[in-house]
Structure 1
Amino acid sequence: MTPEKPITERINPKTNNIDIASPLEIVSLLEDCDAEIFKGWGKYPDIYNERIQKNIDAVSEIVVSILKNSTRNSIILSGCGTSGRIAFSIARSFNDKLRKFGITPCFDYLLAGGDVALFTSQESGEDDPVNGRDQLIKATKGKKKVLFIGITCGLSAPFVAGQLDYCLQHLDKFIPVIIGFNPIQLARNLPVENWHKTFLQVLEDLISVEGLKKGFLINPIVGPEPITGSSRMKGGTATKLILESIFVSALSTLHVKGQNIIAQLVLNSYETVYQNVYKEKEQIAKVVKLAGKSLNSGGYIYYVGWDSLGIMGLIDASECQPTYGACSPR
């Protein structure tokens, strides 16, 4: 019997003809797909699901406790490819915010393939759970308490699985969290070379401690990607808004007197942003058309930005060639 394909790897029927669509039709199709980030997909739990919201709120509370002793504690964000680049971007951004609040920065990131993977795809690094574990041990040496957040859109990356397994063996120090976008039963269950577990087996270990609030799975189902398997699209977007909702909520609780902005309110604001962005479909379509003309004539697309916006351009450009064969980052 053929195993059921993970939702993150399926074809989205909404975009079957995206390759022959006009620029305006392309933007409209992307709008329809992005709506699934907030409205959910099929019968599966969406981002506002009660269990998922409880886990997001619980993780936000843990962030508050970590930040109260940030010199001895740490928050580690880890992932492969785009997930790791988002980890880098968010860790950097929130460390800046902590400095402004007079708090010792305690965010750190781990990226499969190392820092060179910030700029170019390093596929082999994703398949090494032992290296992932070793990087985590090194990054958290001397820390008293560590909130580990592993990002793997397909619930599949061995690099993250090795780190999660280590955290679960050392729950006196680590609080593990996994963010992904498949149901538990569709997590990768294939043997990992030179390792003793599958991703699903480690994930089941995480679920066994979730009721004790010693670990958490945050896995809203946002549906298949507009371009099949390209989890840097909806998966990347959902990752960013979940993480930022957790951290913004925690910082507001810690530093805005008498105010407790729950994470769901931050998520609501992102949904408003989504709605407002697509009100400009015709303008976005003009940019899509110009970009297509440039690439079809042998030209380039240049990203020009500063600080965090420049980094987001880097993140987007770094995967355009290996994912879409579109262009090289400049």
Structure 2
Amino acid sequence: MGENLHQLHTEMRNAASERLDQMSAVEIVTLMNQEDQKVALAVQQVLPAIAEAVELIERALKAGGRLFYFGAGTSGRLGVLDAAECPPTFGTDPAMVRGIIAGGAQAMLEAIEGAEDSQQLGHEDVRRAGVKQGDVIVGIAASGRTPYVIGALEEAKAVHAWTISLSCNPDPNISQGVDVSINIVVGPEVVTGSTRLKAGSATKMVLNMLTTASMVHLGKVYGNLMINVQATNWKLRERAKHIVMQGTGINYLEAEKLLLDAGGDVRVAIVMQKTGLPVAEASERLRRAGNRVREAIEET
């Protein structure tokens, strides 16, 4: 495995940055900006695979399954970040989307790079997380060859969970036998081998897509409004009022009162205003519609 590391796209030298240590600040950031512009185009090339992964995740979550991210180092941190942002953004149960990083919580704050070399640890973490049939796991590895991620995907396949691989190299080892393989070829990094740069940005983009598109199809969004936002502080309470205003066309004071009547639930408030129903009936209609606001409003 080690002998071909230099052949990976993410480990090659970038000709444009070979005199990086001689560049001025403006030259460095200009070069980085130019390289970063390639990331979205590289992601564009794999949109069909990303969409396939979204559809798989959506089916699993609708059936009561869960989404897990497994990764090491930067890849693991990005998975944990995306999972952690789902409950406040979409009002999901924290158990629905989970990020697991090689080396555990401590690895979020400091590098425990040796953890990525253990395939067995990947197996153990999948078992420890209780991954089972009907769940989806996304194995994230910029190199596409991280032993921890290979182990996690192997264990997931053994328990008949759905599997998705996400890498930044073509034909990665982690893609073997998975249900969907997403390979974003972003090319050599400005700092050779530092995959927290373009590879990290590409990974973040894809994770954003996986959860956002899945949650939209699960009814967590009305139009483009974040109706499941959890109003846990002043800023979010104000945002909730403005979401009700935007979703219904009423003014600030009306939205404030409507939200108060709805117990602070943006979804219930919008259904109440759109249907003219009192809170109890609006809540029941929303429940029957599987908490999908549009379906609750359009119920005949």
Q: What's the TM-score, normalizing by structure 2?
A: 0.68
Say how many residue pairs are matched: 220
Q: Is the 8 A contact 2:67 2:135 kept in 1?
A: yes
Is residue 2:123 matched to residue 1:136? Answer: no
Q: Select the residue among 54, 58, 81 that pairs with 1:64.
A: 58
Specify the alignment match of 2:175 in structure 1.
203
Q: CA deviation at 1:98?
A: 3.5
**Equivalent residue, structure 2, for 1:229:** 193
Alignment of 1:36-51 (within 5 A): 36-39=38-41, 46-49=42-45
- Given the alignment, which residue of 150, 167, 170 partners 2:159? 170
* 1-structure distance, mates of 2:28, 2:87: 37
> SS at 2:177's partner residue?
helix
Matched residue, 2:245? none
Q: Following superposition of structure 1 onto structure 2, how do residues 1-330 of structure 1 map, counting pairs within 5 Å?
A: 3=4, 5-39=7-41, 46-49=42-45, 52-70=46-64, 73-99=65-91, 105-141=95-131, 143-171=132-160, 174-184=161-171, 187=172, 200=173, 203-206=175-178, 215-255=179-219, 256=221
CA contact (8 A) 1:7 1:223 kept: yes
In 2, the alpha carbon distance for the partners of 1:151 and 1:104 equals 20
Question: Contact 1:30/1:226 (CA < 8 Å) preserved in 2?
Answer: yes
Assess, with a 3 A threshold, how the Cα gap between structure 1 residues 95 and 163 changes in structure 2: closer, same or farther.
same
Write out per-residue CA displacement over residues 107-151 of structure 1, whole angstroms, 9 at most, x where no aligned residue: 11111111111111111111111111111112025x551110011
Distance in 2 (alpha carbons) for counterparts of 1:85 and 1:248: 18
Q: 1:81 to 1:104 in 2, by over 3 A?
A: closer
Contact 2:165 2:181 in 1 (8 A): yes
Deviations 1:3-55 (A, max 9, x none): 5610100111111112111111111010111122123xxxxxx3222xx2222
Distance 2:61 2:93 in 1: 8
> RMSD value over aligned CA atoms?
2.1
> Once the 2 structures are TM-superposed, how far is the Cα of residue 258 of structure 1 from its aligned partner?
7.5
State the percentage of identical aligned residues: 26
Determine which structure has more spread, i.e. the larger CA radius of gyration.
Answer: 2
Cα distance between partner residues in 2 of 1:228 and 1:128:
24
Correspondence for 1:300: none
Cα distance in 1, alignment partners of residues 111 and 57 from structure 2: 31
Question: 1:274 aligns to what?
Answer: none
Q: Secondary structure at the match of 1:47?
A: helix
Kept in 2: contact 1:95–1:105 (CA 8 A): no
Gaps of 5+ in 2: 225-300
CA distance in 1, matches of 2:222, 2:86: 20
The one-character-per-residue Cα deviations of 1:163-211 (angstroms, maximum 9, x if unpaired) are 111223333xx11111101111xx4xxxxxxxxxxxx3x63333xxxxx
SS of 2:192's equivalent in the other structure is coil
Code of the aligned partner of 1:177: I
3-state SS in 2 of match to 1:224: coil
Matches of 2:75 and 2:12 in 1, distance apart? 19
| 1:53-107 C-alpha deviation (Å, 9 max, x unpaired) | 222111111222233244xx211011111111111111100132332xx667411
> Which protein, 1 or 2, shows the higher relative CO under an 8 Å CA cutoff with sep ≥ 6?
1
In 1, are the aligned partners of 2:58 and 2:218 still within 8 Å (CA)? yes
Cα contact 2:79–2:207 (8 A) shared by 1: no
Report the Cα distance in structure 2 between the residues aligned to 1:60 and 1:144, rounded to whole angstroms.
18
- Using the alignment, how far apart are the partners of 2:151 and 2:15 within structure 1? 34
The aligned counterpart of 1:327 is none
Per the alignment, in what secondary structure is the counterpart of residue 205 of structure 1?
A: coil
Unpaired runs of 5+ residues, structure 1, are 40-45, 188-199, 207-214, 260-330
